[in-house]
Amino acid sequence: MKKAAFRNLRLCTKDCLCLYVCPTGATDTEDSIIDVSKCIGCGDCAAACPSGAISMLSTELPPQQKKAENVISYARKLTKNKADEEQIASAISGMVINDGMYRLMTALAKSARLVNEDIMRESGYMLPQSKNTKELLEDLLNDPPAAGFPVDAAKELLRLIKFNE
């Protein structure tokens, strides 16, 4: 399986040892993003990186693990509830005067979003090539969750993503 180097910019200390060991110059970029088209997957840059900011990752994503239909159904219901919780907490935070209540509602909104993202990831929706993601996008197009839902963006994603199931 072919691998390529990817840099986590948050971890990068700009010591730039990767520049000196990369045989193809894939790490020598002005925007600090490794040029995957030049990367041959040798791993020399990852081994030389003193901050551990470079990882070798597979260029092909695995197929989505199969999940029972009832698990997917419950996950969708749960994510809808978490999205509703986030919207309610955000709305309340915009109405309160008390700083403590504002901070609490803002924290609750962020917490609901993080939990929702975890649920979606575990359900396979965060893998863009999965069947679950395709079905979710199709469902959102057929029944948009809100008036301002970006229908054109969802259609474009369906056109661009190569689904592997």
The domains of the chain are located at 3-58, 69-160
Q: Mention every residue, 6+ apart, whose C-beta is less than 8 A from residue 162.
A: 129
CATH level 2 (architecture), domain 3-58:
2-Layer Sandwich (3.30)
Q: What is the pLDDT of residues 71-116, one digit of tens each?
A: 878 888 888 888 889 889 989 999 988 999 999 999 998 998 888 8
pLDDT for the residue numbered 165: 65
Please return the burial class of 134, using the count of CB atoms within 10 Å of its CB with bins 0-12, 13-18 and 19+: middle
For residue 126, is pLDDT > 70?
A: no
Q: What percent of the chain has pLDDT over 70?
A: 93
In degrees rounded to 5, what are phi and psi of residue 148? -95, 15
**Integer CA distances (angstroms), 156 to 61, 78, 138, 144, in order:** 20, 26, 11, 15
Q: What percent of the chain has pLDDT over 90?
A: 21
pTM score: 0.46
